[in-house]
Each structure stands twice: as C-alpha cells, then as structure tokens.
Amino acid sequence: MGNLFLILAVICALWGVVSLIAIASYLSKHGVKINILFFRVLALKYVSQYHEISKRESGKSGPWFYSYIICMNLALLLAIIGMILQ
C-alpha cells in the first residue's frame, strides 16, 4: 500500500516539473532571463516572478502557479504517507 503512495508522489513531482518548465517558458517570453545552470536553485524565485507578472497582467495568478504549488505539496504529503505505511 505504501508503494502506491510513493508512486503517486513521484507522478505529482513530475507534474510539478512540467509546471515549472511552463513557468520558465512564460517568463522567458516576458523578458525574464532564465539561468539554466542554476535552474533548480532558482526555481522558487521563478515561481514568485511568474505569480507577480501574471497577477499584474490579468489581476489573478496564472494557472501554472497553482499547478506547481498544489502538485509539490501533494507530492510531499503522499511521500510522507507512503513512508509511514511502509
């Protein structure tokens, strides 16, 4: 049973990576220079910048912001449950 939760955690984490790549693409189109070398280190900065820019443009946060936040929190929760059940 624990393995199922761990697999679901990995799937959520992968969707979080997809969301982060979409955020980087959006920022790049809006003139923000993306540092590929330190991409993992600066990931939260890019999410914050995406939140600010999308909120400034449309008045609300973009969908990739919520996708990233929900997926990463869900991945953490599922990983903890999976480790407890093993």
Number of domains in the chain: 1
Range of the domain at 58: 2-85
Residue 46's closest CA among 15, 17, 11? 17
Average pLDDT over residues 11-40: 95
- Contact criterion met (CB below 8 Å) for 39 and 24: yes
What pTM was estimated for this model as a whole?
0.90
HSE value, Cβ hemisphere, 13 Å, CA-based, for 76: 5
pLDDT tens, position by position, 28-84: 999 999 999 999 999 999 999 999 999 999 999 999 999 999 999 999 999 999 999
